[in-house]
Amino acid sequence: MPIEIPRRLHDRMVEHARAEAPNEACGVLAGVEGKAVEIFPMTNAEASPTIYRFDEREQLRVFDEVERSGWDLLAFFHSHTHTEAYPSPTDIRDAHWKDPVSGEATPAYPGTRYVIVSLAHGSPDVRAFTFESGEPVEEEVRIT
Amino acid sequence: MTFTEDQVRRYARHILLPHIGGEGQRKLTEASAVVIGAGGLGSPAAMYLAAAGVGRIGLVDFDAVDVSNLQRQLLHDTSDVGRPKVESGRDRLLALNPTIEVETYRTPLTSANAFDILGPYDVVVDGTDNFPVRYLANDASQMLGKPLIYGSIYQFEGQASVFLPGEGNPCYRCLFPEPPPPGTVPNCAEAGVFGVLPGIVGSIQATEAIKVITGAGEPLVGRLLTFDALAMEFTTVKLRWDPDCPVCGKVPTVTELIDYDAFCGLAPGEAPPEAERAPEVPA
């Protein structure tokens, strides 16, 4: 399923990524039927150039607002400041929840895309992924 | 890694709480605790730790559920009578929180297995009902350098403390260097116990375990809390490290684990025959 990101939200996402560099930036794109309608730039609680994690209180607040507004968690975005816009092994692991009883790993947020904004080259590169059997599956991003 | 939606919702009230917050909740999620005894004290202790999201919980108990346990041991249901306590306990904990891991040890804790069982956990919770295992848990925790969350009850009175190895902190043997001789303590089955009492003391143990894991507040280190249900009074007395303590003193004389003679008609390392088994009443 392609996702549609209006130019205005795309630009705010890139702006957040640049503001946080060299650390990774992160946040949530809320959407309706595959189209982003709001952006929540968030704090990278790890404050790291190689990993990110939502601050839990902020996460709770954002999830509540998304739910109250009747939106979906369309995508989680984060930036790669020095590498390509492709999921790292850590990104893949963090996108999965391992059931402690069965040991089976399943997507932690089924239906939510993982958008990566790469600042490694001159112009930002924005790509989206979901995961199937632990492997990244690229989804088309339409900037409108 | 970022919490799943279940985690962020399930632990919302901790995440919002001062002194715990997202950071404390993450520590809980990554922590492990072993509960010795799935009885009166172990029930609330293990249930609150599971509900709080302690990532891996061990349950140690050789016994099966008896109908006389149900007056206070809320890990078990009427339908569990006859089942191994660790099995009904695991079912209860996973029903409360299916996102944690529960390991079960259906065996008495002995000098032969204590290091292997307690070793893989961050915190040890003492929910034992007899002196031999209490001394074993204390000695093993000291030797392994693990915090021991102590609790015990007798009829209407209870106690709790935290024995944190090192830094001049006292351990159980600083209070009581040697166990009382067998036969001097009233038979557990005859003594009786007020059903709510282990609920209170076991909940205090869960509180202290969570504080030790998250670093919140001041745990009961170097202090003994006593509770009298009839008077409804809590008192705290200071405990001092004993330089002559046989385990944590300057020159330890107890340097390996000991199986003391048992009370309650139960020899350590063996389960009594079914007909002779006294109903378990945590001491």
For chain A, domains (ranges, CATH) are: 3-143 (3.40.140.10)
Instruction: Give me the helix-helix angle, B42-51 and B85-96, nearest 10°.
Output: 30
Distance from CA of A117 to the nearest CA of B (A): 18
> Which one of A60, A73, A100 has the shortest CB-CB distance to B99?
A100
Searching chain A, which residue's CA lies closest to the CA of residue B94?
Answer: A101
| pLDDT tens-digit readout, B178-225 | 988 877 776 556 689 999 999 999 999 999 999 999 999 999 999 999
> Which one of B5, B21, B94 has the shortest CB-CB distance to A57?
B21
Residue contact B2–A57, C-beta within 8 A: no
Instruction: Yes or no: say if A20 and A12 are a contact pair by the CB < 8 Å rule.
Output: no
Residue segments in chain B with a per-residue pLDDT below the cut of 70: 186-190, 262-283
Residue whose structure tokens are 């969570």: B210
> Which one of A45, A57, A100 has the shortest CB-CB distance to B101?
A100
Q: Give the per-residue pLDDT at A122.
A: 82
pLDDT for residue A139 is more than 80: yes
Q: Give the per-residue pLDDT at B55.
A: 97
Helix H or strand E encompassing B13: helix B12-15
* A46 in contact with chain B, both atoms CB, cutoff 8 A: no
* Domains along chain B with CATH numbers: 31-276 (3.40.50.720)
| pLDDT tens-digit readout, A95-137 | 999 888 888 999 999 999 999 999 999 899 999 999 998 899 9
| Percent of chain A residues topping a pLDDT of 70 | 100
Residues of B in contact with A53 (CB under 8 A): 1-2
- State how far the Cα of B227 lies from the Cα of B156, in Å rounded to an integer: 8
Distance from CA of A99 to the nearest CA of B (A): 7
Residues of A in contact with B25 (CB under 8 A): 56
> Which residues have C-beta within 8 Å of that of residue A38, sequence separation ≥ 6?
A9, A29, A30, A66, A69, A71
> What pTM was computed for the model?
0.90
- State how far the Cα of B103 lies from the Cα of B218, in Å rounded to an integer: 29
Residue contact B15–A101, C-beta within 8 A: no
Q: Give the per-residue pLDDT at B279.
A: 37
Q: Give the per-residue pLDDT at B189.
A: 60
| pLDDT tens-digit readout, A13-46 | 999 999 999 999 999 999 999 999 999 999 999 9
Q: Give the per-residue pLDDT at B188.
A: 55
Distance from CA of B55 to the nearest CA of A (A): 9
Instruction: Yes or no: say if B68 and B279 are a contact pair by the CB < 8 Å rule.
Output: yes
Distance from CA of A56 to the nearest CA of B (A): 5
Residues of A in contact with B5 (CB under 8 A): 63, 73, 108-109
Q: Give the per-residue pLDDT at A1.
A: 83
Residue contact A55–B9, C-beta within 8 A: no
* Whole-number Cα distances in Å, B98 to A102, B51, B75: 11, 10, 15
pLDDT for residue A140 is more than 80: yes
Listed by number, the residues of chain A in 4-23 with a beta carbon closer than 8 Å to a beta carbon of chain B are none
Q: Give the per-residue pLDDT at B186.
A: 66
Cβ pairs A/B, distance under 8 A: 50
Strand B123-126 to B32-36 pairing: parallel
